Amino acid sequence: MKPRILLLLALAIVLQACGGTPKKAAVAAAEPGLAKDGHFRVSLTWLTELKAETYLQAKLRFSVPSGAAVTEVKDLKFDPWMPSMGHGTVTDEQTLTLEAGQADTILVDRVYFIMGGAWDVRLDATVNGQADSATLSVEVP
């Protein structure tokens, strides 16, 4: 009788550890960054759980320090770079899409971090006719 009770108890513990409600993907955001020459600010929000070795989706929102409306974002380059290792990651499959009806918001699909750690997302963009660059720090678990 004792082995049967122990087996049932062990089974209950295993089921409790594996069960539960699935958690929603964490949405993380990097600190907003001011472009190097001050022509724009940009915020980065991860729309999928931030982790290595999987394709992710992010949202970039641009603003200008004067408070004027952002009417155009073009020539955007989204380049993840790992300073401690001296390398970046594959960007060939990324797609950059203007969010419908939002001149200041870009969706970035198929972002891929090849490993966890401290990364910089280096951005080049022309916002309202002013070319500039910004770097946002990201910690990938």
What's the rounded Cα separation, in Å, for the pair 68 and 21? 44
pLDDT tens for residues 17-34? 444 433 344 456 777 899
Residue predicted with more confidence, 4 or 107: 107
Determine the pLDDT at residue 88: 96
Residues 6 or more apart in contact with residue 102 via CB below 8 angstroms = none
Domain that includes residue 109, residue range: 24-140
Determine the pLDDT at residue 20: 43
Q: Do residues 50 and 26 make contact, with C-beta atoms less than 8 angstroms apart? A: yes
pLDDT range class, residue 10, cuts 50, 70, 90: very low
Q: Do residues 98 and 105 make contact, with C-beta atoms less than 8 angstroms apart? A: yes
pLDDT tens for residues 47-105? 999 999 999 999 999 999 999 999 999 999 999 999 999 999 999 999 999 999 999 99
CB atoms within 10 A of CB 86: 7
In a domain, residue 3? The reply is no
In a domain, residue 49? The reply is yes
Kindly report the pTM of this predicted structure: 0.78
What's the rounded Cα separation, in Å, for the pair 59 and 82? 20
In a domain, residue 13? The reply is no
Count of structural domains within the chain = 1
CB atoms within 10 A of CB 33: 18
Largest CA distance in the chain: 79
- CATH assignment of the domain containing 78: 2.60.40.1930
In a domain, residue 18? The reply is no
In a domain, residue 41? The reply is yes
- Average pLDDT value for residue range 31-50: 95
